[in-house]
Amino acid sequence: MFDKVTETNLLYDFYSPLLTNRQREVTRLYHCENLSLSEIGCELSISRQGVYDSLKNAEKALEEYESKLGLVQRFACTATLVRSAHERIDAMIMDNAANKELTGQLCSLKETIDELGQ
């Protein structure tokens, strides 16, 4: 589906409110701010091992939330379907360029699809 970094960032985007404050902060600093374990430990006044443990527990929790709720998987499927719909509508617009009424309705349909995907 996604590479590991992208997947972890998506999991964080969807499920970070479900993490403890410490897990959320450590995960944000590591994955979003790209700080090392040592740098995070200094910033939060905890050991490197404490950062590592908190990060691994957070990542495990994020994966468990996804396995139960499937929001990231649903998001990926929706994005794929929206791209496919856009491509099909674009092809219909090109095939019917002379029909301004139809192409206008198809463009309106694309806008509606975009609103649903947000």
CATH number for 50: 1.10.10.10
* pLDDT tens over the chain, length 118 residues: 568 888 899 999 999 999 999 999 999 999 989 999 999 999 999 999 999 999 999 999 999 999 999 999 999 898 898 999 999 999 999 999 899 999 999 999 999 988 876 6
Cβ 114 vs Cβ 79: under 8 Å: no
Same structural domain, 63 and 82: no
Same structural domain, 17 and 50: yes
Range of the domain at 29: 4-69
End-to-end alpha carbon distance in the chain: 20
Distance CA(80)–CA(32), nearest Å, equals: 25
Total number of domains constituting the chain: 2
Half-sphere exposure of 98 (CA within 13 A, CB side): 0
Cβ 66 vs Cβ 73: under 8 Å: yes
Prediction pTM value: 0.77
Taking the CA atoms of 106, 108, 112 and 118 in sequence, report the sign of the dihedral they define: positive
